[in-house]
């Protein structure tokens, strides 16, 4: 086949053009996706560095590659900062994502065929905690048998007593849980770590707390302290409420250090995205300096947005518990439209969020593509400096689309206008470059 230089060049330019379009799109939109954030320009600088072209297999100081003198120092700084932020005895910054960190925990603490307890997806569980039948990582990759926690839908919390009875039953059937996974993707209220740890101890199981969503809140001492409450390990993504690069991390105790290190390398990573490790070190320094304030602001904003939506006829769930204690709220929009339609219409208006299964979908067996709810996170808008006043305004804009069913195009203009005043990242040492500025280096 003849190679067409011209066609290749067109595609090359098209990709770059699409990247710039994406930046413009986000600059002019309000992003409320609960699992994302916008990192500081310093983190973006690290991501563009030569670290991303290198290998450093092994542990700092014991590498299998040459050329690591600066890389080692950065990784040691990331580890040290992680220990300070989370008061952890052991930190591994090599997992390249939250799912890989979970796989490390599954590998270190359980064997194929073992039983693991986890939350069902409509109760906030994550696919990486899922069973084989649903294509979940725990089942597919590690061969774990996943049993779900008993859940109190009225209060959106694990029903500890019913779970204890379930674990007793499982153990009588020879399926003693080896692993108790906590943490969620719709993480509204702290989990009962102490209580689950007691159950785990009775049966010789380990407790792993997946802090992917709430890592930034924990860093700001605003949610719960899973290590002190009894978790054997904490896994996390570093790019949700912790506004770092997309990466993963494990926090644990010295007694598990050797086991965890070995499963991460050579078990699960070869290169470990050194540019992201550098970005993570920067994000952790920012967390140490600024997250007490940032995390408090996030929770305040989440509650304010929930209240303002509620007053405008959007059924935000768990009002009797104050809606949320985190960055996330969930709303049942089914009396207006299904979650899919809400997501699409809001995106046209420049408000980006996800449709989501909510507890009642579990009973109704709703199709996951058209769930009853939406999930909203305020960590990104908070990072841009928005406060209570903007939360009320955002609630008004959302209600115009969902409750009043206004043409999304009409709302779009006001979204753009509002967003203009919020173009710089806060809670960072430096942020001269705009949050969504496209950086050309070619």
Ligand X SMILES: *Cc1c(COP(=O)(O)O)cnc(C)c1O
- Tell me: does residue 334 bind ligand X (CB under 6 A): no
**Binds ligand X (CB under 6 A): choice among 210, 232, 325, 390:** 210
- Which C-beta is closer to ligand X: that of 125 or that of 408? 125
| 236 touches 262 (CB < 8 A) | no
Q: Report d(CA 39, CA 245) in Å as an integer.
A: 7
- Tell me: does residue 250 bind ligand X (CB under 6 A): no
Helices (H), 323-378: 339-348, 359-364
**Binds ligand X (CB under 6 A): choice among 237, 241, 328, 356:** 237
- Tell me: does residue 356 bind ligand X (CB under 6 A): no
Count of residues engaged in binding ligand X, rule: CB under 6 A = 14
- Nearest position to ligand X, beta carbon: 98
280: CB partners within 8 A, 6+ apart = 78, 93, 238, 244, 245, 247, 249
Q: Which stretch binds ligand X (CB under 6 A): 93-101, 138-146, 293-301, 331-339?
A: 93-101
| 107-166 residues near ligand X, rule: CB under 6 A | 126, 128
Which residues pair with residue 376 across a beta bridge? Answer: 329
Helices (H), 114-192: 137-140, 160-172
Closest CA to 438 of 16, 20, 41: 20
Q: Report d(CA 167, CA 212) in Å as an integer.
A: 26
- Tell me: does residue 219 bind ligand X (CB under 6 A): no
- Which C-beta is closer to ligand X: that of 37 or that of 40? 37
Q: Which stretch binds ligand X (CB under 6 A): 78-86, 95-103, 275-283, 308-316?
A: 95-103
**Binds ligand X (CB under 6 A): choice among 71, 77, 212, 281:** 212
In the complex, least distance from residue 57 CB atom to ligand X, rounded to whole angstroms: 21
Cα-based torsion angle of the residue sequence 101, 99, 377, 121 in order, rounded to the nearest 10 degrees: -120
Q: Which stretch binds ligand X (CB under 6 A): 86-94, 181-189, 291-299, 317-325?
A: 181-189
- Which C-beta is closer to ligand X: that of 237 or that of 354? 237
Both tokens assigned to 45: 């600088």
In the complex, least distance from residue 160 CB atom to ligand X, rounded to whole angstroms: 20
| 240 touches 34 (CB < 8 A) | yes
How far the first Cα of the chain sits from its last, in Å, is: 29
Neighbour tally for 3: CB within 10 Å: 7
| 27-66 residues near ligand X, rule: CB under 6 A | 35
Residue 315 phi, psi dihedral angles, 5° rounding: -80, 80
425: CB partners within 8 A, 6+ apart = 38, 39, 40, 41, 243, 383, 384, 431, 435
Q: Report d(CA 128, CA 121) in Å as an integer.
A: 10
Q: Which stretch binds ligand X (CB under 6 A): 51-59, 69-77, 205-213, 324-332?
A: 205-213
**Binds ligand X (CB under 6 A): choice among 39, 41, 122, 183:** 183
**Binds ligand X (CB under 6 A): choice among 99, 118, 231, 357:** 99
- Which C-beta is closer to ligand X: that of 241 or that of 366? 241
Helix axes 274-311, 388-402, angle to 10 degrees: 70
**Binds ligand X (CB under 6 A): choice among 130, 244, 248, 371:** 248
- Tell me: does residue 213 bind ligand X (CB under 6 A): yes
Residues lying near ligand X in the complex (CB under 6 A) are found at 35, 97-99, 126, 128, 183-185, 210, 212-213, 237, 248
């Amino acid at each position: 086949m003849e190679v067409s230089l011209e066609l290749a060049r067109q595609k090359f330019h098209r990709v770059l053009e699409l990247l710039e379009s994406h930046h413009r799109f986000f600059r002019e939109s309000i992003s409320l996706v609960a699992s994302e954030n916008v990192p500081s320009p310093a983190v973006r600088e690290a991501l563009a560095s030569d670290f991303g072209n290198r290998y450093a297999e092994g542990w700092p100081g014991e590498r299998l590659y040459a050329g690591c003198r600066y890389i080692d120092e950065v990784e040691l700084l990331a580890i040290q900062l992680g220990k300070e932020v989370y008061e952890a005895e052991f930190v591994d910054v090599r997992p390249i994502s939250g799912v890989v960190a979970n796989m490390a925990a599954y590998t270190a603490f359980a064997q194929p065929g073992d039983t693991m307890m986890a939350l069902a997806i409509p109760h906030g569980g994550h696919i990486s905690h899922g069973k084989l039948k649903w294509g979940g990582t725990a089942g597919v990759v590690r061969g774990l048998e996943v049993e779900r926690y008993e859940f109190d839908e009225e209060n959106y919390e694990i029903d500890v007593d019913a779970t204890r009875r379930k674990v007793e039953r499982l153990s009588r059937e020879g399926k003693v849980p080896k692993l108790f996974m906590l943490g969620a993707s719709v993480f509204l209220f702290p989990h009962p770590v102490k209580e689950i740890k007691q159950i785990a101890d009775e049966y010789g199981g380990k407790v792993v707390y997946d802090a992917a969503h709430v890592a930034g809140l924990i860093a700001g001492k605003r949610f719960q302290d899973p290590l002190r409450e009894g978790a054997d390990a904490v896994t996390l993504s570093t790019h949700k409420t912790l506004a770092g690069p997309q990466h993963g991390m494990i926090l644990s105790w010295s007694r598990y250090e050797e086991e965890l290190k070995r499963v991460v390398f050579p078990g699960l990573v070869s290169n470990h995205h050194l540019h992201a490790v550098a970005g993570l070190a920067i994000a952790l320094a920012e967390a140490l300096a600024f997250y007490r304030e940032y995390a408090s602001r996030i929770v305040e904003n989440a509650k304010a947005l929930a209240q303002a939506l509620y007053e405008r006829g959007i059924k935000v769930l768990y009002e009797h518990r104050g809606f949320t204690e985190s960055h996330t709220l969930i709303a049942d929009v089914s009396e207006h439209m299904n979650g899919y339609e809400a997501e699409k219409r809001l995106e046209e208006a420049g408000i980006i969020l996800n449709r989501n299964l909510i507890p009642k979908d579990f009973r109704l067996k709703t199709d996951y593509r058209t769930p009853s709810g939406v999930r909203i996170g305020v960590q990104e808008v908070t990072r841009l400096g928005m406060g209570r006043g903007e939360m009320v305004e955002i609630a008004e804009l959302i209600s115009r689309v969902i409750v009043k069913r206004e043409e999304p195009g009409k709302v779009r203009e006001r979204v753009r206008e509002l967003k203009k005043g919020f173009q710089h990242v806060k809670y960072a040492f430096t942020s001269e470059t705009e949050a969504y500025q496209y950086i050309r280096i070619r």
